[in-house]
Amino acid sequence: MSTAISVENLSKAYRLGMIGGATLQEDVSRWWAKVRHKPDPLLMVGQEHHARGIGQQFWALDGVSFAVAQGEVLGIIGGNGAGKSTLLKILSQVTAPTSGRIRIKGRVSSLLEVGTGFHPDLSGRENVFLNGAIMGMTKAEIRKKLDEIIAFSEIEKFIDTPVKRYSSGMYVRLAFAVAAHLEPEVLIVDEVLAVGDAAFQKKCMGKMNESKGQGRTVLFVSHNMHAIRQLCDKAIYLKAGRKIQEGSTAEVVESYLQDAPSSQSLASVAEIIAQLPPDPIFRLRSVDVTQGGRSDTNVISGKPIEIAIAYDVRQAVSGFHVYFHLFDTDGLLLFESIHNGDEDCLSIVSPGHYVSRATIPADFLAGRMYDIEINAAISKERLCVPDPSPVRIRLSVTRLGRVNRAYSGYVAAGKIAPLIPWQTEFVQEEVAPLV
């Protein structure tokens, strides 16, 4: 399989606090170097400073190398400021690199940010032709695709309206429709799809999935790890402008999630616990969420998730229990679990310090956001923490497991995703003909 994109030791530096040179002489020097196809003298100096660790330089990319085969979909992930968008802008020729080399085979279409490549005073229809012309397509080729582009964008009524009057969602609809239907060999897509509504995002993901079977090369940047895993054949992880890891999507995504800092919900919940009103029987000490021995609220579905509740019981009590509720982000209760719910009867709990641990099995939760609410109660009497409990933890689950793995790219419906055992028996070799 031939290589569609080759990136070798790519770096990009910005001079902090300055636009152009500091003097007219520097600007003329840079212009003259450009005319002669020579390296930018100021950036060459910046590279020397970078090597020596001095100078007011910010390196958005620093020595990044990778290759993408024709027809492959590459996911590019990393936190804010990792250099993802800078990389795509260089590949799209929006900006030039400081050093390094890129080779791209075929026609490139980019969807980097809302309105990129659109002229605000032209109508949507005119911008379709403009974008096609920029890509080197003839009018006949564009006309052939025009009806399909308009239908996909779902803005037929506004196609002859100047795009400066479009909402951000309308911009995205038309921009993606143009980028996906004008048959580029390479499609570059940034996080811009997050602007569209959920139905249109799903439609776009389907279109990009369809592109995989047509030999089109796709570079896809997103903070949505589920989308990355669903769409991409492999991924690279950028951090502070450097490539940290390259490999299979599952491995790179898992490394990124484990490396990413936990959300502040566990720290916040500790403060909430400290401010709970006193109870004569129960005192909540702490709540923790762990996966693989690591305390984190960003987890994957393919491994068990443990919820640990530490508490004191101040006096002997019958019917006491701690429990948690799991809600979706719409507030719908998905299930509850009680620490002694599988016992035959409720025994008397003696005074002391306790830690109760609940384990949510691997491949049980779908890749979504959830809220865990912690409480305690004395059966048929009262709650020990106010209702609704202020002790809530936001859990972010990325689907990375075995559920429906035979159906590549398929997203299971529902809020939970248990791995249900099935058995299929081969009954007979021949099937009776239809009468």
Question: According to the model, what pLDDT value does residue 54 have?
Answer: 40
Select the more confidently predicted residue: 386 or 432. Answer: 386
pLDDT over 80 (residue 363): yes
Ranges for all domains in the chain classified under CATH 3.40.50.300: 3-259
Question: According to the model, what pLDDT value does residue 115 have?
Answer: 56
Torsions phi, psi for 193 (to 5 deg): -65, -20
Instruction: State the average pLDDT for the chain.
Output: 80
* pLDDT tens figures, 245-296: 999 888 888 788 777 665 556 888 888 999 999 899 999 999 999 998 889 8
Question: According to the model, what pLDDT value does residue 246 have?
Answer: 92
- Work out the pLDDT band at 242, boundaries 50, 70, 90: very high
Q: What superfamily in CATH does domain 3-259 come from? A: P-loop containing nucleotide triphosphate hydrolases (3.40.50.300)
Between 46-50, 278-282, 323-327, 383-387, the lowest mean confidence (pLDDT) is in 46-50
Question: According to the model, what pLDDT value does residue 354 have?
Answer: 93
Full DSSP string of 233-286: SEEEEEETTEEEEEEEHHHHHHHHHHHSPPPTHHHHHHHHHHTSPP-SSEEEEE
Question: According to the model, what pLDDT value does residue 170 have?
Answer: 84
Question: According to the model, what pLDDT value does residue 411 have?
Answer: 59
Ranges for all domains in the chain classified under CATH 2.70.50.60: 265-398
Is residue 153 packed enough to be buried (19+ CB in 10 Å), middle (13-18) or exposed (0-12)?
Answer: buried
Alpha carbon distance 388, 324 (integer Å): 12
Alpha carbon distance 282, 323 (integer Å): 13
CATH class of 265-398: mainly beta
Between 101-105, 184-188, 290-294, the lowest mean confidence (pLDDT) is in 184-188
Looking at the chain, the whole-number percentage of residues with pLDDT higher than 90 is 19
**Strand, coil or helix: 16:** coil
What is the per-residue burial (b if ≥16 Cβ within 10 Å, else e) of 188-216? Answer: bbbbbbebbeeebbebbbebbeebbeeeb
Alpha carbon distance 179, 149 (integer Å): 9
